[in-house]
Every structure is written in C-alpha cells, then in structure tokens.
Amino acid sequence: MSKNRKNYQRLDKETNLKAIGSAKTLIEKAKREVPGFTEHFAKFDEQMVIGGYSTSTLYNYSRAVAKISLYFKKSLLDLDPDEVNQFLYSVAKDTKASPSYFKHTVYGLRFFFRLYDMEDRALKLPSVSNHRKLPTVFSRQELKRLFKAPQRLKQRVLFSLTYSAGLRVSEVCALKITDIDSARMQIKVCQSKGNKDRYVILSEKILPGLRKYVKSSKPKVYLFNGKQKGKPLSHSAVQTSFRLALEKAKINKEASMHTLRHSFGTHLLEDGVDIVTIKELMGHAHIETTMIYLHIAKIDKTNAHSPFDSLYG
C-alpha cells in the first residue's frame, strides 16, 4: 500500500471518529449535568428511529440540543424564547462554525419543541436559507479516463457500477452478491437512506466486467469485500481509492464518490430521461432534490415551441 493511501485512510478514520466522539462527549456531559436530558435524549432516539432518520441526523440534532442545554445548564423546556435567540445569535456569530452546524442547531431545536407539542416555539425559530451549491459533475470523457485509471479490476468495476446505477457510496459498499439480478437486469438496493428498498438498472455493458471480477476475486456475501471476505468494504477505503484514481486520471475537480451519482442523474437528464423516473432510480424522497440537475444538464433548447402549434401540425 502506498504512503499516500495510508495517509488518506488515516485522515478519513480520524475525521469520522472525531465527529462521532465530539457528539457523544457532549451528549454524555449533558446527561450528567443537565436535569432531564437523559430522558430527552431517549425520546429523541425513539422518535428518530420510528421516523426513519439516520444515525448521523440523530447525533447532529441531539448534539445541538446538548450544547444549548449545557450553555444554560438547564432543560430546553425551561428556556424562554430570548435565551434560545441568544444562543442562536452566538452560533451565527461564531466564525469557526459551519453553515450546516447552524442549520442542524435550528432543526434540532425545532424537532425537540415539536416532540413536546410546543409548535408555537418551533414556529418562532428562524428559517434556514437553503443556498445549495451546484454539485460537481464529470464529463463523459473524464469518466472514461477515471474508470481506466485503477490498476485493480475490483476498483474499476466498483467505480463503474456506482456511476452506472447512480449509487451512494454506502449503497455500493452494502451490496451483496445476491442483490445482483442478471436475469432481470436489476440491482436491489436494500435499506438505503430513509430505510427504503429500491431497484436500479443493471447496465448490460457492465455485466461482463462484473462477472469477470466475481470469477477472479470470489467475494463472499458482499459484492465488494473489505480486508476480510464476508465483511463489507469501508467507506473510507473506497474514498481513498477514488482520490488516487482521480489523481491518476489527471482530473482536477473537487470531487468525491458522490460525484459519480451526480453525474448519473445529470447524464440521464441529458439523454432525455424524465425527471420523475430519475427521482425513483436515485431514491430521492423529494422531487426538489432531483430538480437540481436541471441547472447542470446541457439540454438542447432549440426545439422549444408552443404546444398549440402541434395541435394542428
């Protein structure tokens, strides 16, 4: 393993552990020092599991609630609106805090107040502007260079499959051999974001390479095994391999594995696939998420005309 790859893996693991550790430390401190917080967190956990929220959302929201509880050393139920505004002002003025941290703070407080039927308090919280940056997208030529870059067949197939089916990195890592249905040319994505299953297209052109990989690597249980067969490949290992391939392919873009998914959605739109079908293939909960690709896709507008003309055409 190269020195760069080892460093990338170490940094990924350190970043993930630091974020999780920071949230857990705050929550445990709030449990010890703030009356009633243990019960609040238990209720948070219960409702988020029932609502199908992700573990990261649970920790982002509860971390924010823990921080404001520790700030005033009392339960949110005992805070008045001026105190909540004072805390939000301190977060907004903090130059080290990211915009997403402020957003999670507002959303966490809103979730908490609604949990305790305090809708009036939830509605008084400030709205969060949703200025989303347009995602990076690869050109088709860049994708061809990227898929040729890795020396190992496993990585070439993994990247190609991720793009060809529009998968999230968590989804491709969790794929099992039994999820590939070559008879129906489908891939089953199980319990993805929002705890939902869906079927995506298995590309005919990727099937020969996929079969060659399975024959040579003989994976067990998971399609892409980690260090041990029968165990899934870690997200950090995939991202590390991707960055090395990006460098080798000489693609100078701020990109991650998720860029393959953005490219999938954009290219489908450019190929004439309707936005609703793309939404279903990508497993988006809301059409607004999919519509961002309308701002990126290069769609020929020269044939625009009034539909009235075709009535009598």
Catalytic residue status for 107: no
**Residue 102 sits in the same domain as residue 154:** no
pLDDT of residue 51: 79
pLDDT at 204 over 50: yes
**Enclosing domain of residue 145:** 140-295
Task: Name the strands in the sheet holding 186-189, side by side, starting at the edge strand that comes first in the sequence.
Answer: 180-181, 186-189, 198-201
Is 236 inside a domain boundary? yes
Interval 98-124: pLDDT, tens: 777 888 888 889 888 888 888 888 777
Residue tagged active-site, from 193, 198, 235, 248 = 193
Interval 49-91: pLDDT, tens: 887 777 778 888 888 889 999 999 998 889 888 888 888 888 8
pLDDT of residue 212: 96
**Residue 41 sits in the same domain as residue 161:** no
**Residue 82 sits in the same domain as residue 159:** no
**Residue 104 sits in the same domain as residue 237:** no
Catalytic residue status for 193: yes
Is 152 inside a domain boundary? yes
**Residue 102 sits in the same domain as residue 176:** no
The CATH number linked to 232 is 1.10.443.10
Domain count, the chain: 2
Residue tagged active-site, from 67, 104, 168, 262 = 168
Mean pLDDT computed over every residue of the chain = 85
Catalytic residue status for 235: no
Residues 6+ apart with CB under 8 A from 205: 164
**Residue 286 sits in the same domain as residue 145:** yes
Catalytic residue status for 267: no
Catalytic residue status for 184: no
Q: Find the DSSP H helices in the chain.
A: 3-33, 37-50, 55-72, 81-93, 99-115, 119-123, 140-148, 153-165, 169-174, 207-217, 235-248, 257-270, 275-282, 287-290, 307-311
**Residue 155 sits in the same domain as residue 264:** yes
What tokens does 260 get? 């393959």
Neighbours of 272 (CB within 10 A): 8
pLDDT of residue 7: 46
Catalytic residue status for 110: no
